[in-house]
Structure 1
Amino acid sequence: MRYIHSSQSFGYLLRAEALGQKGKNVIGSKPFYNPSRVATCSQNSLVVALGVLENNSVDVAIICDSQSAVCDERSDGRLEVKSVTVNSFCDTHHLKQANHYDEALNQSGYFKFIYKWILITEDYNTVVQEQGTNISHLSIITCKHTGLINTPYLRYLGWDNFSKRRWYVNHWPPKTVEDVFPLMKYGLNGIQLTVAVNSFIHSQWGPFVMKDEHGKYTGMAIDLLCVFADTLNFSYVLVEPPDGGWGMRQANGSWTGLVGQMQRKEADVVCAALTVTYDRLPVMDFASLPYYTEHQGFIYKRPDPSAALFGIILRPLKQIVWFCVLASILLIAASFWIIGNAKKDNLFTNKLWCMQYSITTLLQQGSPQIPRSSAGRLLSSFFWLFAISWAAIYSGNLTAFLASSSLSTPFVYLDDVAEQTDYEVGTASGGSPEMFLRSTTREPYQTIAKRVFNSGDRNLYHSDVFYHLERVKEGKYIFIDYYSFLLFNQSCEYAVHKTNLEENFNFGLQKNSALTPLFDNVMISVYETGLVDRLHLQYYPKKQPLLCAQPPPSGSLRMRLHSMTDIVVLIGGSLTLSAVTLVIEFIVYWSKKYHWCIWWSLCK
């Protein structure tokens, strides 16, 4: 323990060695201690207090004699105690400057929440008491004049039965640190913290922080906040950010929403579904353990399966695969034609026959005629192997496609969302999903981000989630947001899918806050006792999966009418085309027979 004395006064600052190692003096100059000068009651009280605190692990104690000292702020930002006439300003000034001391040491809340304060004064007035309500542990030594004897009294700040802070008297002289600070074993001693929350209506955002029509807050995070308050012994008042945002960095380096409140030190704790991101870490702290691990997800309205006529035949393979298959048919047909002409294979010198042979081979229909040349047969053998493999892959994909009813759930992964062009994609602004999409360079997220932010439609990142949900109801719209929130809107009409992107929801605190290790210890205890798991089950009870249709018996595949629509249409189109061809051939035949040609070219 170090104490610093400022010359020609009795103003002292006791500091722990840990602070002394930082090389910063908040008050005063050289260390000084002279017992011979201790004569008055206040000075004797100072000697007693020093003797008790000298060899104990008390973090900090401020000692100030208001009868002989006043505090002044120097040009370099430090505070200096100067000798003046009787004035009680020094007491209140030090209490008011608790945050200033923390800023000088690049920390937050240590002088208010952790360090212990002692004021040695002959008068504690209402001003001192009002300022003392901002300090967790504050004791005052007062000398009372009783005739020719000055008797010291030790008072400490505590709580009464009406939840109001008041002074209590303890015996003198103190023998232990517990005698000086009787309430130090009760955590933060009931100090009131400002807790920032971001609340929503029950049906919109849950189950983390919810606010009903009467202004009452509930939710998983609020329940945990009550556990923190009971364990650490503090009260709290809830405030919401004026802009209602979560936290977005502005061009000038400032932040909006909850993160902005932490940056400006307008609140002590953030209790909300706030995500830990690398961008936010330089301006605020987070508890080491999350109370919930969230995933990003997306929701869209299921399309009408009967609307896609030929989709079921073409969808098992991507467009690029179909293009490669068509290119292979043309390439193989051209190769047969070249080989046929080179080897004088009369049948394969006909271009149409080469094309027909390639198509029938791919469809595994075969042909009574095969190439006569060795080169043609070798090419035919490898093409047959390709056709067998392609047919097996296509048949398997088509069967799986019909079994999984992917016509009603065309998008399962974000890669599917990035590749499609029929649906617009949007996300709510001001939150972690928008921050991630704007900052990532990975695929498919970068492609999705370009479609959202470079489309020219600012409504694609509208701040109101209700707006996005309304667009989802209209159809042809995909909304990306937190999976737990989207589950509230899951139904047979809408498809909700979870992505692999994990986000941790933590309690937030000011940068280098003294409360951070305290919250970490409580969070570890919460996990060890299983409270987090019980809260998850309370707010996320296990639900039965949606049964939008009666599932088929095990091992069977139930086909629905709309699954066969395009196949029936294809067969009908083939029959129609065959009928038209038959009519044309019939006309050509009778034209030749009775010499009443309609087109001269058909009669030749």
Structure 2
Amino acid sequence: MRDESLLYQCKAGAPLENHLSVQGNKILFLAANNLHIDSVLLAGKENRKFYMEDGKIIEQFFYKAQFDKIKYTKPLTIKNTSLQADASFDLRGLNLKVGFLEFAAYNRYDRETKTFSGILGSTFEIMKKQMNFTVNAVPCIDGNYGAQVSGGVLHNGVRSNFNGLIGMLERKEIDIGLADLSLTFPRIKVADFGGNVVEQPVYCLISRPGNNLQFRAYFNPFYLDIWLSVLFTASCLLIACFLLAATSGQRMDSSGYKFQPLSRWMRNLELVSFSLRSMSMKDNFLLSYQRYRTTWRLLMLTYILVGYLTVEVYNAELTSYLTSKEIQLPIQKMEDILDHNDMKLGLHRGSFLVTAIQFSSEEKYQRLWNEKVAGNEFGEIGWENDDVLLQALEENYILAGFGELALAVMGRHPCKVTKLPTEAMFPTQLGIYLQKDSPLTPLFKKELQKLQEAGVVHNIKQAIQKETMLSHKVCTDPNLKLGIQSTVFLFIIIGLGIISGFTILILEIIHNKVIPKQIGKNIQFSE
């Protein structure tokens, strides 16, 4: 116990008993010699005084008797009924070891002033001032928040089930863990949650579409199964054309209705041309055969119907895709990556997401861990370096990140990063953690409740979030806005068409000039 470090004060009240009286603003008990100290009544619950001894919090009381100063102590026992709304807890002389992790929006530590800031940090500083204790700030030993680890973590001869700040609390290396720590069931088995300061969503970040050259942009309006269905339908109609043409006799001239025999090659080429032109709704024409004229007309009507629906829907989807200002994402939620073999999932290293997915009993989360996370380069990724995050996104990873942390990455790289519309999980509660069954836990919860009821925590959140939003950038890439990357395929087709045209032109020149001359020479030579 430190001398003169503790005082007991409470509101003055009326005389308690014949042998007791109250004088001034401090309690002053005048008792007879035979009055036992246990029978002295307390006159209030405000400004209670405590100190730490052998890892326990002791409450200290001072009374003045008629002849001598009387003092006694007893271990602190907290009951919900004793925590009045206006109670204030003075922990003067108590020095707490606080482990911390830094992130700008939630918690920052100034090593010169030795103070915390951010939503959680500022709230903690107010609680420290109100409760009158001091701290010894200790950085997290491994940079992790606290995830359950197979085999545990051994540090200084003590093993814990968790790493990070939660592991430090579990091994009793610190008294308080100060970071944007989420409330989860596995964590509260080994540590106490000190109360909800702010709720935090879980966002899934994805590489913003449109930054890379879109070679398949003109195929994107339809999904693969639709393209396969269209191809299957067109193939069936083409086979029907070949079968019908094989039994319909000779092709007739549409003007004179005279028999006009065609070679097998030309007949096949004509059927393919008829199929393509009818499906694309370009210059439809009817093949005139001797037999089955009605059947041919029905076939053509089928072509027109299928082609019209396909072409019109495709044109509408393509126009919407190329001109829409909204981002067209390949997936809508995290679980959708199970249907995409080229996509992988990156979890925030050391966060509760790793524990939640790795040890989940749900089949979809087990598949996510085994197929998309485990063994991959960025399956568990730190969020300290933006270059690493951008590299993972470029390699088609979906990154699951937390609230302001994820939004800050989007704010710094608005042209490269966006988020899925559906959050990965329900918002989680953030707050400080204390050692399991710590006597400080009810005191911190009560003090936090007072600050929330007074609107202090809300004002801190509003100020920090406004500051964060003002620091976000806006995408100004003109190519991304115009969607030029999506038109690359069109230029490829134009280029191939030009090359094909010149190739055919050269072949025609050779056929019309070189070959006849060669034939003429051969004839002269033979004569």
Query: Normalising by the residue count of structure 1, what TM-score does the alignment of the two structures yield?
Result: 0.59
1:189 and 1:234 in contact (8 A); partners too = yes
Q: CA deviation at 1:433?
A: 3.6
Q: CA deviation at 1:224?
A: 1.0
Q: What one-letter code is carried by the residue in structure 2 that aligns with 1:362?
A: M
Which residues of structure 1 form unaligned runs of 5+?
1-40, 59-112, 118-128, 144-149, 158-183, 599-604
Identical-residue share of aligned pairs (%): 17
Aligned Cα root-mean-square deviation (Å): 4.8
Query: Normalising by the residue count of structure 2, what TM-score does the alignment of the two structures yield?
Result: 0.66
The match for 2:314 among 394, 401, 408 is 394
Which residues of structure 2 form unaligned runs of 5+?
1-30, 74-85, 153-160, 253-261, 522-527
The match for 2:89 among 150, 171, 187 is 187
Q: What one-letter code is carried by the residue in structure 2 that aligns with 1:323?
A: L
Matches within 5 A, 1:329-348: 329-341=234-246
| TM-aligned CA distance change 1:314 to 1:565, over 3 Å | same
Q: What one-letter code is carried by the residue in structure 2 that aligns with 1:49?
A: D
Partner of 1:365: 282
2:274 and 2:285 in contact (8 A); partners too = no
Q: CA deviation at 1:210?
A: 1.5
Partner of 1:227: 126
| TM-aligned CA distance change 1:373 to 1:533, over 3 Å | farther
User: 1:325-351 CA deviation, whole Å, 9 max, x = no partner?
Assistant: 333322321233335546669699955
Q: Across the two proteins, how many residue pairs are aligned to each other?
A: 444
Whole-angstrom distance in 1 between the partners of 2:294 and 2:441: 80
Partner of 1:271: 178
After alignment, is 418-427 or 268-277 more displaced? 418-427
| TM-aligned CA distance change 1:292 to 1:595, over 3 Å | same
Matches within 5 A, 1:155-554: 155=71, 185-190=87-92, 192=94, 194=96, 196-200=98-102, 205-212=103-110, 214=112, 216-232=115-131, 234-252=133-151, 254-287=161-194, 289-298=196-205, 300=207, 304-305=211-212, 307-308=213-214, 310-341=215-246, 351-369=268-286, 372=292, 377-378=297-298, 380-404=300-324, 414=334, 426-439=346-359, 441=362, 446-447=367-368, 450-455=371-376, 457=377, 460-462=379-381, 464-466=382-384, 469-470=387-388, 472=390, 476-477=394-395, 478=397, 479-489=399-409, 490-492=412-414, 494-497=416-419, 500-501=423-424, 502-541=427-466, 542-543=469-470, 546-549=473-476
Whole-angstrom distance in 1 between the partners of 2:313 and 2:109: 53
User: 1:37-86 CA deviation, whole Å, 9 max, x = no partner?
Assistant: xxxx999554x514748xx999xxxxxxxxxxxxxxxxxxxxxxxxxxxx
User: 1:11-55 CA deviation, whole Å, 9 max, x = no partner?
Assistant: xxxxxxxxxxxxxxxxxxxxxxxxxxxxxx999554x514748xx
| TM-aligned CA distance change 1:278 to 1:386, over 3 Å | farther
Q: What one-letter code is carried by the residue in structure 2 that aligns with 1:495?
A: V
2:347 and 2:401 in contact (8 A); partners too = yes
Whole-angstrom distance in 2 between the partners of 1:545 and 1:402: 27
| TM-aligned CA distance change 1:561 to 1:511, over 3 Å | closer
User: 1:171-212 CA deviation, whole Å, 9 max, x = no partner?
Assistant: xxxxxxxxxxxxx95325436363533233xxxx22212234
Q: CA deviation at 1:285?
A: 3.2
User: 1:443-489 CA deviation, whole Å, 9 max, x = no partner?
Assistant: 5994476333233x4x6535x43456346269834454335224444
